Structure formats: C-alpha cells, structure tokens
Amino acid sequence: TAVGLGKPHESAALHVLGQATYTDDIPELRGTLHAALGLSSKPHANITAMDLDAVRAAPGVVAVYTAQDIPGTNDCGPIIHDDPILSAGKVEYVGQPIFIVVADTHDNARRAARRASVTYEELPAILTPQAAKAAQSYVLPPMRLQRGDYQAAFEQAPRTVKGTLYVGGQEQFYLEGQIAYAIPQEQNGMQVLCSTQHPSEMQHVVAHALGVHSHNVQVECRRMGGGFGGKESQSALWCAAAAIAAKKSGRPVKLRADRDDDMLVTGKRHCFYYEYEVGYGDDGKIIAAKVDMVSRAGYSADLSGPVATRAVCHFDNTYYLSDVDIRAACGKTNTQSNTAFRGFGGPQGAIAIEYIIDEIARDLGQDAYDIRRLNFYGKDERNVTPYGQVIVDNVIAELTAELEQSSEYRARREAVAAYNATSPLLKKGLALTPLKFGIAFNVTHLNQAGALVHVYVDGSVLVNHGGTEMGQGINTKVLQVVAHELGLDMEHVRITATDTSKVANTSATAASTGADLNGKAAQDAARQIRERLAAYAVKLYGGDTAEVLFFDNKIHVNGHTVPFPELVQKAYLARVQLWSDGFYATPHLHWDPKTMNGHPFSYYAYGAAVSEVVVDTLTGEWKLLRADALYDAGQSLNPAIDIGQVEGAFIQGMGWLTTEQLWWNEGGKLMTHAPSTYKIPGVSDCPEDFRVRLFENRNVEDSIHRSKAVGEPPLLLPFSVFFAIRDAISSVGGHKVNPPLNAPATSEEILKAIAAVEAAVK
Ligand code: MTE
Ligand code: LUZ
Ligand code: MOS
C-alpha cells in the first residue's frame, strides 16, 4: 500500500537539483514582452493629472495601459468586487497599481514604470485598525457571536481580568514571487501560466477583465514556490494585468513582481487589535468571556470577512466558554488589502484566549498549563462550541498529557525556576500551549473538488485534480491515494499541472483541505476505473467482483493473478472505459452567517507544543532552546510530509510572533518591504533540539483514509514560544505581575515589557 508511508515529496529530487519548473522557468515564446506596474505613492488621494509621456519614451517601451484600456471589468477582487486592477482615478494605499508598462525586457519595463509623473489631491488616510475602529471605517458590517448571557455571568464572577492586545500581521514571503505569463490564443482565447492557489478564480478574473467567457481562458499552474495564502486571491492582479497587456498588444506578456513591489502591492496576514474582559472563578475556570476584535483589512474586503469569521470561530481554541460575546470588525485602512495567510484568522482568534488564560494563571499564581487543562472542552458535556457545533472528536486532554510526559514538562518547569533563581540577567521561560483547528472552508459551498484519472493502454496512470502544489505535498498524497486504489506502486502514477481546462470550477487549495478534498475526488475516479476493471476481470476469469483484489501491481481474481498492464490491455480491446472523472463534496456542513451558528467544520485537528527559551534581559535577544510538538494528523497519509508541515508551520508561526514586523511610516508607506528590514526566521533560529511527533489517532469522520489536514493548524504551535518569552519576562518580577506583551515580541518589545514589569514591582 502506498497510503500511510513516509514517501518523499513527488518533486523532491527536482527541487534539490534545481530542475523543478516554476512559471518563470517555462521557455518564453518569440515576441514575449515584459510588464511592470506603476504604483501609487500616496495612501489616499484623487489623481488629478497623470503624465506618462516619459514612461512611453523610455528605452524598450512598447505600450502603456491605464484603467481606460481594460476591455472588460476593472476588478480583481474575490467575493466582494471592490478591488480595481488599476486605479480609476482614486488611490487607496501606497503601492496601488495605476498603470501597466510593457517593454522588451523586464529591466526596461521596471525602469520605465518609475518615470511617471502623477499629481495627487491628498485625502485623509486611516493607517491603523484602532483608528479605523474609532472612525467606524469598515470594509464589511461588523459581526457578533453570542451565547448565554455574558453580562449576567460576568457580574457574578468572583474575579475578572480586562485588557488590550495587539498582534501584528505577517508577509507570506513565498520564495517564488507573484508571476503570470499570458499568451493570446485564437478565437479570443487567453492562456495564463501563473503561480496561483486558485486557477479557477484566475480564470474568472481574467475572463471578466478581458470581457470574454470563461471558456476562452485557460489557466495552468504546475507548482508554486510557496503560496501560504498569498496566492489564494491575490495572484489575480498579476494574472489580470498580464492578460490585459497581452490582449491589447497581441503578444505574450510576462509580469513578474520583484520582491519590493510584491510586498508593497499585495496583502498580508491581518494584524488584530483586541479589547477583552473575562470573569473567572477562584479556581481559574472561565465563567464569562468578551472580546472585541478589529482587524486591519486594508483598503478593500478581499477575504477579510471569512478571515474574521474564522477568528470568531477560533477564539474558543480548546476551551469551553459558556457565556460569550465575541465581536469582530474588519477595519478599513489605507494599506494593502490583507488576505489569506496560513491559519486564515484562526491563529488571531485563538491567541487572544491564550493571552487571557496566561493572565488568569499569573493572577492566581498558578502554572498556565493547569489553568488551560481546567478549561478544556469535555467529552460528553462542555462540548458545544459558541457557534453551536458539537465536538465529537476531542483528544486534547490525552494529547497534552502525552506531551507533558514526553517533554518532561513538570521537571523542566522546576529546572527553569532553579536556573532563574541564580541567573540575574539571563532568564529562562517555558510554556505548553494547545490547539484545536476546524477543518473545512467556512464558506460551505467551497468544500468540493474534482479529479480526472486516465489509465493508458500500457497500464501507466495519469492524474489531474483541482488542487495546486505549493510545496505542501498535495500531489504526493493524491498520487498515494490513486496508487493505493489501483494496487500500484507510486512510480506507475504521474500527476500533471493543475489546469482549468481539465477540472472545472475548482476551489482554492486552501483551508488545509487540499488533500482531503482532492484526495477523495481522485479516489472516487480511481475507484470507478477499478470497479470496471474488476467487472471485466470477472467476465474473463469468473468469480465475484467484490472479491477481486488489486495489489502488487496485479489483479487477483478467482485464483488468477494478472499483471495490471495485461488486464488493462485486454480491457481496452474489449472497449472498457479506462479513464474517469471523480467528485467530492464534504457532507454534513451548514452555516448561518447571520446568527454565526451551525456546523461549519467537518472535524477538528488538535496539537500542542512545549517551548523553552532563554531571554537576555539587557538586550532583549532570546533563543529557543528546545521545542517539543505533538500533532494530530489522524491516520497520516504521509508522516514524512506531515512532520515537515508541522516543522515548517512552527517556524513560520514563530516568525510571525517574534521577529517579523511590518512597519508603515506616517505617509502610509510600508517601509519593511524587503528581507533587509523584514526578518523571517533563518536556519539558525530553529531550535537545536526540535522534537516533532504525530499523535496516534484516526479521524472519526470518514475523511480520506481517516487522515486529518495538516497545512495550517500547526501554525498555532509556536504560541508556546511567545508565552515562554512572556514567562521569562515575568520571572523578572517574580511572576507577580502580568507583562504587557504585544506581538511580534521583538527585542524592543521584550525590553519594553521588562521595563514595565520592573516599574510595576518597584
Ligand atoms: N506548505 C508549503 N511548503 N508551502 C505553502 O505555501 N501553504 C499552507 C500549507 N502548507 C503552504 C504549505 C497553507 S496556507 C495551506 S491552506 C495548505 O498548505 C494548503 O495545502 P493543503 O490543503 O493541501 O494542505
Ligand atoms: N474560508 C476558510 C475561506 O476557512 N479558508 C479559506 O481559505 C477561505 N477562502 C476563501 C473563502 N473562505
Ligand atoms: Mo491557506 S491561508 O488557507 O491558503
């Protein structure tokens, strides 16, 4: 069986040899032009005049296109159509595209784009979510989820905690930047080769922008050099701009963003500002919880609505909250339009309750892990989420208990205290944090997928499905599923580029559902072929179709063993259909956006991590000494890939909460738009002692081979790093006061928190 084995990524050898083909590696056609975008330099303004003569006169320039040149609709936004491709006279953030210039080379296009002379009439700009909230400036109506009677419960609570928290955003920092290569075809056709998590959405956006039908547009993506949510909706601008230029010029056009432009133009993870108020018992049990969150949506809606919904539905994390009042608003700011990023609001929702529990524990002088356990969801009671979904697969108590043991949490807690007692400047900190993550798109209709499986006459198999490969290993997993279904070794199965002309109307590869959905769809296709082959084999050799077995590259039927290619050959001559489509729609899902109630998730994935850090209290520098993570991937389809996903998500989430700081100047310009100023974790930031394991489990839902999704949930594991840092800071004041600590916990933020603790205990 190919399923459940720790097989290497299907393209691993190509990746390390530098032979994997990304969009920019595809050989360019004769006559290809290169595009660049001219960008706004004001955060909010009307354009009163625009002189592009110098751009047109620049060396190598072939043409310049503005909003007036767009043949169809000037929009590239998902869901709510409020994202112009090119500004039509108003700009709403620094970096907003105003025009497209095409030239003979990439460099000439980029140089020419800077020569524009634009006159602006400036308008007042809103630059922070707090300012957006104060001005009630939102991209969508605010949302609210209530259960029980928060106010009554709060008033009865013996103890309360109240405060604010700010958690910064995050740049996706995919290694391969945004890119699209548009090639005009006959009969109004347009082929777009691009780096995208969502080929079908790119097809729709390009069709609308060109004023043609979807069947005129073909979008293809073999693989991405990372997406992380940044190419779910925001690959659209690049596809649309390249296609418009290709249509207008009649020539192939490539648009490749350089890193600074990519960071200036595209949206990121939403930063969140929270105001919270919680009532709890003397034992630390939460009685009433209220949170009011506002995100930095940026200038348009993009995916901010579903992101906020997921934040609301993850505020509970692993805790039963009886009486709650959860509010979320999407602040309209004059900055990049923020978008999907691994976790999709889930991490932002859950970190608030973790921060609150950390506060409660310190107020009570208890270990935060014990307060966490006390508030966990129960098995048969205290098992209904604030949004009404009953949790039937809860393993958080067992999982954390196992991690507590394997990480020697209690002994290390004592060792850390002993170390701190004798170390005046270097302080250690330790934290164990849990996670629960709902799996499914929280927009119900998106939970569907399709696949095509071809068995050729020689017995080789070709698979195509609607998911996209971004390094996460979806193709490897789908390949394993198909190989397993047909009883073949993996080398007999090949997967080709994702292509809108093969599987139609696909959803984004997102919400961690890629392998769940496309694995099921491909299994459905392969099963149909297997059933036809089994029926045919019975015709030839007798026996019962239900007893025909497929394994070892052979078909076993009524005492006969026939090599797969031999049976396939015979079946072809007998005119048996050897290819099939497959489809899957996740069952049991429903959601009422008005009441924010329903059953939005198919199941939950769980996990926990323990992190130990040492902080230099003079410099604010710190190091992660050891991290232990335990993740519930159900019956893993591929443990090697899943462990890689957990490790990657851990380090990426650690960057979000510690070193990655987005900073806009007073003029609304993002100043951290390159790796020189925006610091993602490097290899030396990974803990030397990093123990990642998968929890023994099996999905109670009938998911693909009872596995669970892995893409996003482990991004919550490094909460343990953030709270370990907070623990170390807290030791400076003998754990008597709660250090105010916003994220990212940069060295500067850590020093500020230490100063606040010292001032408070003085
Ligand atoms: N892993 C790699 N290597 N590169 C990526 O871009 N994206 C993440 C996660 N893991 C990503 C990744 C995100 S945001 C999601 S939603 C899932 O992969 C999507 O893939 P899946 O649903 O097939 O797990
Ligand atoms: N919901 C969700 C979504 O939970 N995850 C996603 O990535 C997403 N994308 C678009 C719309 N809803
Ligand atoms: Mo992932 S943020 O759902 O692309």
- For a ligand 1 pocket test, name from 198, 437, 512, 641 the mutation site with the most ligand atoms within 8 angstroms of its C-beta: 512
The CA distance from 297 to 329, in Å, is 9
Q: What CATH number has the domain spanning 32-124+178-256?
A: 3.90.1170.50
Quickly name the fold that domain 272-442+593-761 has: Aldehyde Oxidoreductase; domain 4 (3.30.365)
- For a ligand 3 pocket test, name from 712, 715, 716 the mutation site with the most ligand atoms within 8 angstroms of its C-beta: 712
Ligand 3 centroid from CA 731, angstroms? 37
Residue 1 confidence (pLDDT): 72
Q: Which structure tokens are listed for 217? A: 């547009």
**CA 196 to chain CA mean position, Å:** 13
Protein residues with CB under 6 Å of any ligand 2 atom:
232, 303, 306, 310, 340, 344, 441-443, 446, 508, 510-511
Ligand that comes closest to the CA of residue 513: 1
Give the DSSP letter of residue 489: -
Q: Which structure tokens are listed for 417? A: 């205290």
Ligand 1 centroid from CA 121, angstroms? 42
- For a ligand 2 pocket test, name from 303, 307, 312 the mutation site with the most ligand atoms within 8 angstroms of its C-beta: 303
User: Are the folds of 272-442+593-761 and 448-585 the same?
Assistant: yes
C-alpha torsion sign, points 9, 10, 14, 20:
negative
Ligand 2 centroid from CA 510, angstroms? 7
Q: Which residues of 395-422 are buried (b: 16+ CB within 10 A; e: fewer)?
A: bbbebbebbbeebebeebbeebeeebee
**Ligand 1 pocket member 466 (CB < 6 A):** no
Q: In degrees rounded to 5, what are phi and psi of residue 99?
A: -150, 165
Give the DSSP letter of residue 490: G
Residues 460-493 have pLDDT tens digits of 999 999 999 999 999 999 999 999 999 999 999 9
Given the CA of residue 341, which atom of ligand 1 is nearest to it?
14
**Ligand 1 pocket member 707 (CB < 6 A):** no
The total of other beta-carbon atoms located within 10 Å of residue 639's CB is: 16
Protein residues with CB under 6 Å of any ligand 3 atom:
197, 229, 232, 340-342, 344, 510-511, 712
Q: Containing H/E element for 91?
A: strand 90-91
Cα Rg of the chain, angstroms: 27
**Ligand 1 pocket member 347 (CB < 6 A):** no
Q: Which structure tokens are listed for 648? A: 């990657």
The CA distance from 106 to 35, in Å, is 7
**Ligand 1 pocket member 413 (CB < 6 A):** no
**Ligand 1 pocket member 509 (CB < 6 A):** yes
Q: Which structure tokens are listed for 2? A: 């190919």
Ligand 1 centroid from CA 231, angstroms? 11
Residues 742-753 have pLDDT tens digits of 999 999 999 999
Given the CA of residue 232, which atom of ligand 3 is nearest to it?
4
- For a ligand 1 pocket test, name from 15, 472, 631, 652 the mutation site with the most ligand atoms within 8 angstroms of its C-beta: 472
Kindly give the parts of the chain with pLDDT less than 50.
none
Ligand 1 centroid from CA 224, angstroms? 10
Question: What residue ranges do the domains of the chain occupy?
Answer: 32-124+178-256, 272-442+593-761, 448-585
Tokens 């050897």 found at: 578
Given the CA of residue 172, which atom of ligand 1 is nearest to it?
6
HEC assignment per residue over 523-562: HHHHHHHHHHHHHHHHHHHCCCHHHCEEECCEEEECCEEE
The CA distance from 353 to 320, in Å, is 11
Cis status of the peptide bond prior to 744, with omega within 30 of 0: yes
Ligand 2 centroid from CA 232, angstroms? 9
Given the CA of residue 477, which atom of ligand 1 is nearest to it?
23
**Ligand 1 pocket member 229 (CB < 6 A):** yes
Given the CA of residue 224, which atom of ligand 1 is nearest to it?
6
Q: What value of ipTM does the predicted structure carry? A: 0.98
User: Between vectors from CA 440 to CA 437 and to CA 342, what angle results, nearest 5°?
Assistant: 60
Catalytic annotation, residues: 712
Ligand 3 centroid from CA 677, angstroms? 25
Ligand that comes closest to the CA of residue 441: 2
Ligand 2 centroid from CA 343, angstroms? 10
**Ligand 1 pocket member 228 (CB < 6 A):** yes
Residue 164, beta-bridge partner list: 275
Q: Is 546 exposed, middle or buried (0-12, 13-18, 19+ CB in 10 A)?
A: exposed
Which residues lie closer than 8 Å to 684 by C-beta, 6 or more apart?
A: none
**Ligand 1 pocket member 632 (CB < 6 A):** no
The CA distance from 533 to 552, in Å, is 16
- For a ligand 3 pocket test, name from 201, 344, 437 the mutation site with the most ligand atoms within 8 angstroms of its C-beta: 344
Residue 761, beta-bridge partner list: none
HEC assignment per residue over 694-747: ECCCCCCCCCHHHECCCCCHHHHCCHHHHHHHHHHHHHCCCCCCCCCCCECCCH
Ligand 3 centroid from CA 195, angstroms? 14
Quickly name the fold that domain 448-585 has: Aldehyde Oxidoreductase; domain 4 (3.30.365)
Given the CA of residue 343, which atom of ligand 1 is nearest to it?
14
CB 574 within 8 A of CB 564: no
The CA distance from 19 to 11, in Å, is 9
Given the CA of residue 197, which atom of ligand 3 is nearest to it?
4
The total of other beta-carbon atoms located within 10 Å of residue 341's CB is: 29
Given the CA of residue 443, which atom of ligand 2 is nearest to it?
12
**Ligand 1 pocket member 512 (CB < 6 A):** yes
